[in-house]
């Protein structure tokens, strides 16, 4: 049994707006430390981790650790109904997740828990040679521009700039942002634009995102709450560039 009360509802709305595009079902772990989900998408290209510490919540009660499985689309559909002044409470009874929204009027939604049991995937450990912090909306804009001509884009970091570029049959697009951080060398990997768009549908989770990059390596994206109480992280496999790809 647990009861979690949250008034800063943007973070969970943004997180599940993205998570529901990546995985259909997810295991949520609630224990004394907080609320956690982690999952790998079906094509094993994208890993996502959401970690909200107990201190993020206005109220956090959890007697015994719980692991519940929910349909991410159903949960997301309800989260979308949250109004700005609403306070969200999450709890469970026997077979349901109970979502209470209290504000000008009170609403209670229940969604059935899914009966399954599997191990939550452990986040892969990757050492990145380059890490920079960029405003989330800037990266979001870059991705949107890249899709004009192609389905994939290069992320490039050198000592001065964060670049993206995409080449297509009819044209090219380039994006350039002066990152102002200390980076040695130049790093370049290529990623799927649709997957990046799924990830950045959580771009309002935090104002800045840490972009972790290497050469032909996965992309690490970390959205962290400014308070340090929560994070939403992604690991996205690079796209292989085959000859007919360009």
Site for its own copies, rule CB under 8 A: 71, 74, 77-78, 81, 96, 104-112, 138, 141-142, 144-145, 148, 170-177
Q: How far is the CB of 94 from its own copies (least distance, A)?
A: 13
Toward its own copies, which CB reaches closer, 42 or 108? 108
Q: How far is the CB of 133 from its own copies (least distance, A)?
A: 15
In this structure, what are the phi and psi dihedrals at residue 146, rounded to the nearest 5 degrees?
A: -65, -25
Toward its own copies, which CB reaches closer, 69 or 109? 109
Q: How far is the CB of 164 from its own copies (least distance, A)?
A: 9
Toward its own copies, which CB reaches closer, 188 or 229? 188
- Closest to 124 (Cα-Cα) out of 13, 220, 51, 242: 220
Toward its own copies, which CB reaches closer, 46 or 213? 213
Q: How far is the CB of 5 from its own copies (least distance, A)?
A: 17
Q: How far is the CB of 178 from its own copies (least distance, A)?
A: 8
- Within 10 A of 201 (CB to CB), how many other CB atoms are there? 18
CA distances from residue 130 to 93, 181, 214, 215 in whole angstroms, order as listed: 46, 10, 6, 10
Toward its own copies, which CB reaches closer, 39 or 139? 139
Strand partners, 40: 47
| Entry field: residues in the chain | 246
Q: Which residues of 36-64 are buried (b: 16+ CB within 10 A; e: fewer)?
A: bbbbbbeeebbbbbbbbbbebbeebebee
Question: Which structure tokens are listed for 11?
Answer: 């973070």
- Closest to 164 (Cα-Cα) out of 183, 185, 138: 138
Q: How far is the CB of 77 from its own copies (least distance, A)?
A: 6
Q: How far is the CB of 83 from its own copies (least distance, A)?
A: 8
Toward its own copies, which CB reaches closer, 51 or 164? 164
Beginning with the edge strand found earlier in the chain, give each strand of the sheet holding 208-213 in spatial order. 66-71, 25-31, 34-40, 46-53, 230-236, 219-224, 208-213, 130-135
Question: Which structure tokens are listed for 184?
Answer: 């040695």
Toward its own copies, which CB reaches closer, 52 or 142? 142
């Amino acid at each position: 049994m647990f009861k979690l009360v949250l008034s800063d509802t943007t973070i969970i709305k943004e997180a599940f707006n993205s998570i529901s595009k990546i995985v259909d079902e997810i295991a949520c772990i609630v224990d004394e430390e907080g609320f956690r989900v982690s999952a790998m998408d079906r094509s094993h290209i994208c890993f996502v981790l959401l970690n909200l510490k107990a201190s993020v919540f206005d109220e956090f009660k959890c007697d015994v650790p719980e692991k519940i499985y929910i349909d991410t689309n159903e949960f997301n559909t309800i989260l979308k109904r949250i109004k700005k002044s609403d306070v969200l409470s999450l709890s469970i009874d026997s077979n349901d997740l109970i979502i209470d929204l209290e504000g000008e009027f009170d609403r209670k939604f229940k969604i059935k828990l899914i009966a399954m049991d599997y191990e939550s995937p452990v986040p892969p450990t990757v050492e990145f040679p380059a890490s920079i912090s960029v405003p989330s909306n800037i990266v979001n804009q870059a991705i949107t521009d890249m899709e004009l001509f192609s389905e994939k884009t290069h992320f490039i970091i050198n000592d001065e700039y964060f670049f993206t570029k995409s080449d297509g049959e009819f044209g090219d697009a380039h994006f350039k942002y002066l990152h102002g951080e200390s980076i040695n060398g130049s790093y370049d990997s290529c990623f799927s634009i649709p997957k990046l768009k799924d990830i950045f549908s959580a771009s309002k989770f935090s104002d800045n995102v840490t972009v972790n990059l290497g050469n032909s390596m996965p992309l690490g994206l970390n959205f962290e709450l400014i308070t340090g109480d929560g994070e939403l992280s992604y690991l996205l496999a690079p796209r292989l560039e085959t000859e007919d790809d360009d």
